[in-house]
Amino acid sequence: MVEVRDFREMGEALGDACAVLRNNAVTAGLDAPVPTCPGWTVRDLVAHQGLVHRWAAAYIARTGRPAPDPIVLAEADAAPDLLEWFDEGMVTLLNAIAGAPADLEIKFFLPDAPPPRDAWLRRQVHETTIHAADAMAARLGRAPRGEELWVAPGLAADGVDEVLTGFLVKRRPETDLPRSRTIAFTATDVPRSWWVNLTHDGAVTTRVAGEVPDADVTVTGTAGELYLSVWNRGQSASASDPDFWADWAEHVKVTWA
């Protein structure tokens, strides 16, 4: 069963990710390219994240149907100060989450997830954290390394878990999964491991406590390295198959639309 992380700590993690994204955006400049999001500038990155925050806030607070993406992006483009516009969306989201009851009854789209309120908070934490890493990449001119992340190992491992037990198992096996085989993912700095079986019928992920079963491919790294790697932000985690990460990047993509 998925771990339900402390609500207050996850709220703080969301605030931290917003601060890192904003600070790196200021340092890099809004016109800087984002190496980890080819074709995007920092301006695109900030507008996208502000859009996602507004959408999630409206959905969680049940204040009505979220505004269509083109309208929100046009609002971002017209904002006198894009970073202030980003801040407004962040505050709206944090208020929506803080005001949501623990037994909030709304839909969530990933399998094996926490209760909806916690699942949506978790989703926004990792959405924002990964895009904050993108803002770091814009400042650095390259993908950040695991040791450069501000994220605690336990939270990074939770982000790996969301990909492997949530997004991956929802992929269409005929087009959206790497080739059939078994993969063992192991974090070296926290006791977290996953055994993934990719078949023509889809992906099955098992959380492993104790010894990890043998697999066709073994992937190891710190939780931060695994986190960035499974989200296609560099390939700092080590894989026994040298072609593994290229295959992964080709098939395992998480997009907004």
Q: Which two tokens stand for residue 23?
A: 């600070």
Q: Which residues of 94-121 are buried (b: 16+ CB within 10 A; e: fewer)?
A: bebbeebeeebeeebebeebbebbbbbb
Task: Give the model's pLDDT for residue 1.
Answer: 62
Q: Which of 155, 147, 208 is nearest to 183 (CA)?
A: 208
Per-residue pLDDT of the chain (257 residues; tens, 9 = 90+): 677 789 999 999 999 999 999 999 999 999 999 999 999 999 999 999 999 999 999 999 988 778 899 999 999 999 999 999 999 999 999 999 999 999 999 999 999 899 999 999 999 999 999 999 999 999 999 999 999 999 999 999 999 999 999 999 987 776 677 778 999 999 999 999 999 999 888 899 999 998 999 999 999 999 999 999 999 999 999 999 999 999 999 888 877 65
Cβ pair 233, 36 in contact under 8 A:
yes
Report which residue type is found at 15. Answer: G
Among 9, 110, 14, CA closest to 57: 14
Residue 236: the pLDDT is: 93
